[in-house]
Amino acid sequence: MDITICHLYPDFMNLYGDRGNIIALQRRASWHGLHPRVVPISVGEEYDLRSCDIIFMGGGQDREQRAIARDFDDRYRVMNEAVQDRVAVLAICGAYQLLGRYYRTAAGEKLNGLGLLDSWTDAGAPRLVGNVVVESRLDGTRRTLVGFENHGGRTYLGPAAAPLGRVLAGHGNNGVDGQEGAVQGTIIGTYLHGALLPKNPWLADYLLGQALIRRGARHQLGALDDTLEVSAHQAAIRRARG
């Protein structure tokens, strides 16, 4: 079965190994017997995002966010249509911020977001940096997520968005409320770099599973040998708890 993974702005939004998430999705899709195709989409390139099965967008600094903000805003209609059509979305750091209502930079500039997440972000100090461990129940089972955060933004959630998880180590969305990331409909936003999916294979399979559910496919994701992935996951937990 073919599966299409759309990578938004790979030339602008790719901090701290975020491109590794695309590689992880490709590899795991193949190991599960699927046939993945990656479509890179950059500034000015038109594409019907409803033809995607998964949309991924990585992180970027203020300069990169500013560079793509206008183009991203112009994609509101097709992005909203894709979300309404239940396309799975994973957005990291700067992309997570731009899916919310706005991101206000350290210089005071307000970058309007798409408002597809009930969230908003204001720059703050100091930067929130380090390894993170999060307890998540995204798939109905209590699991841990690990990653690396490095962000000046403080993100807050409105009532329509739920946190991706509860911070066990690290800072999370804002370093105050103990929440990390956001989930709303088929959108997952998070500050976890590192790359996220290689060390959290259950989340990669969750995204692939959501894509198959949307298609009404009978293909089932079987168990894989995740010995190396689990070892990396546990090592990240030990580092974070140091």
By annotation, the residues acting in catalysis are 93, 193
Can you name the residues that pair with 156 across neighbouring β-strands? Answer: 120
Secondary structure element (H or E) that encloses residue 190, with its range: strand 187-190
Can you name the residues that pair with 57 across neighbouring β-strands? Answer: 8, 91
Tell me the C-alpha distance between 97 and 15, whole Å.
Answer: 14
Which of 40, 58, 146 is closest to 97 using CA atoms?
A: 58
- The alpha-helical segments, DSSP class H, found in the chain are 19-31, 62-74, 76-84, 94-99, 201-215, 227-241
Tell me the C-alpha distance between 149 and 190, whole Å.
Answer: 9
